Structure 1
Amino acid sequence: MEQLQPNSLLQSIFKGLSKKTEPKIREEYAIIETSPYLHSSDYLTGLFGVAKNKVEEDCILQHLYNHDAFYIHTVHDDGTVTSEAVETYQKLEREIINGRWKW
């Protein structure tokens, strides 16, 4: 039996749920766009996997941009600031954007 990767498993769950709770899944896009909390990359990737249009994909992107999710900024005792990339969110952004530029 083939073992699913975490994102594949999450997407499978979303797809299974979306058949039963389609309106609820659609509401999630509006919620994340204005959410004060950053959702996990796994959750957002799952939503991307069942997104039906660019509007829903834009809600995911807006969520990432609202929370500056691409870097963790650390202020050190000496006042210097370092930034560390959050690759999972960067990868999701690339997947959404690259999907619009299919050659």
Structure 2
Amino acid sequence: MARQKTSNRSDVSSTLKFLYGAASGYIFWVTIYPVDVIKSRVQTDGFKGTLDQKYKGSFDCARKIVVADGLKGLYRGFWTCMARAGPVNGIVFVSFETAMKVTE
């Protein structure tokens, strides 16, 4: 497949911008999702020293998730995230590029 050179960013179609944004969203969430699950669990945990506190920190949280649910526990909700990742990131990418074009 031959590469087509463009003289500037405005030569790229909105469809391609959307697809690039969607792809970047998928790549981001595939790589970071387990860390986000741990972060969310720690954020919603009880305060230090209270009876509702489940985790001593991030590593303790990760260990407890894996012990309780296996590695799949780190991916709970993954497909829901993937369902929104492409469209949301594609729209954001196109919107950003459009805003940059308007401000030129």
Larger Rg: 2
TM-score class, shorter-chain normalisation, is under 0.3
- The structure with more strand, counted as a fraction of residues: 1
Q: TM-score, normalised by structure 2?
A: 0.28
Q: Larger relative CO (CA 8 A, sep 6+): 1 or 2? A: 2
Higher-helix-fraction structure: 2
